[in-house]
A and B are shown apart, each in its own frame.
Chain A
Amino acid sequence: MGRIVLENVVKRFGDTEVIPPLDLTIEEGEFAVFVGPSGCGKSTLLRLIAGLEDTTAGKVLIDGEDVTEVPPSKRGLAMVFQSYALYPHMTVRKNIAFPMRMAGMPEAEQKERIAAAAKSLNLTDYLDRKPGQLSGGQRQRVAIGRAIVREPSAFLFDEPLSNLDAALRVGMRLEISEMHKRLKTTMIYVTHDQVEAMTMADRIVVLQGGVIEQVGSPLELYHTPRNKFVAGFIGSPKMNLLEGSIASQHNAHTIGVRPEHVEVSAEPVKDAWEGTVGVAEHLGSDTFIHIHGIEGCDPMTVRASGDFTVKHGDKVYLTPDASQIHKFDDDGLRIP
Chain B
Amino acid sequence: MAIVAQTTKFGTVGRPIIAWVVALVFFFPIFWLVLTSFKTDADAVKPEFLFFFTPTIENYLNMTENYDYWHFALNSVVTSVFATLFALFVGIPSAYAMAFNPTRRTKDVLMWMLSTKMLPAAAVLYPMTFLTKSIGLFDTHFVIIIVLALINLPIVIWMLFTYFKEIPKDIIEAGQMDGVNTWGEIKEILIPLAWGGIASTALLCFIFCWNEAYWTVRLTTTDAATLSKLIEGNRAPEGLFFGRLSAVSAAAVGPIVVLGWFCQKQLVQGLTFGAVK
Residues of B within 8 A of A (CB): 104, 168, 170-171, 173-181, 184, 188-189, 192-193
Contact = CB atoms under 8 A, between A and B. Distances in A.
Interface string A37-60: 000000000000011100000000
Interface in A80-102: 81-83, 85-89, 98-99, 102
Contact of A85 (B173, B179, B184, B192): B173
A98 B176 CA distance: 11
Contacts of A50: 177
B10 to A, nearest CB: 41
A146 B174 CA distance: 10
Interface size class of A (residues with CB under 8 A): 20 to 34
Contact of A52 (B173, B180, B181): B173
Contact of A73 (B178, B192, B193): B178
B193 A52 contact: no
A72 interface: yes
A98 B170 contact: no
Contacts of B179: 73-74, 99, 102-103, 150
A135 to B, nearest CB: 19
B178 A102 contact: yes
A79 B173 CA distance: 9
Contacts, number: 64
A247 interface: no
A83 B178 contact: no
A89 B178 contact: no
Contacts of B170: 81-83, 85
A71 B26 CA distance: 54
A78 interface: yes
Contact of B177 (A14, A72, A83, A103): A72
Contacts of B192: 89
Nearest to B193: A89
30 contacts: A14-B104, A52-B176, A52-B177, A71-B176, A72-B177, A73-B177, A73-B178, A73-B181, A78-B177, A78-B178, A79-B173, A79-B177, A82-B170, A83-B168, A83-B170, A86-B171, A87-B171, A87-B174, A87-B193, A88-B171, A88-B193, A89-B192, A99-B177, A99-B178, A102-B178, A102-B184, A102-B188, A150-B178, A150-B179, A156-B177
Give the secondary structure class of B's interface: helix
B168 A87 contact: no
B97 to A, nearest CB: 15
Nearest to A152: B177
Contacts of A78: 177-178
Contacts of B177: 50, 52, 72-73, 77-79, 99, 156
Interface string A174-214: 00000000000000000000000000000000000000000
Interface in A135-182: 143, 146, 150, 156
B102 to A, nearest CB: 13
A14 B105 CA distance: 13
A258 B173 CA distance: 41
Nearest to B177: A79
Contacts of A73: 176-181
B181 A81 contact: no
Closest 5 CB pairs of A and B: A85-B170, A85-B174, A99-B178, A102-B179, A72-B176
A158 to B, nearest CB: 9
A71 B101 CA distance: 14
A14 B175 CA distance: 26
Nearest to B189: A87
B176 A85 contact: no
Nearest to B195: A89
Nearest to B176: A72
B193 A98 contact: no
A52 B172 CA distance: 10
A50 B175 CA distance: 12
Nearest to B174: A85
Contacts of A82: 170
A82 B176 CA distance: 16
Contacts of A103: 179
Contacts of B193: 87-89
Contacts of B178: 73, 78, 98-99, 102, 146, 150
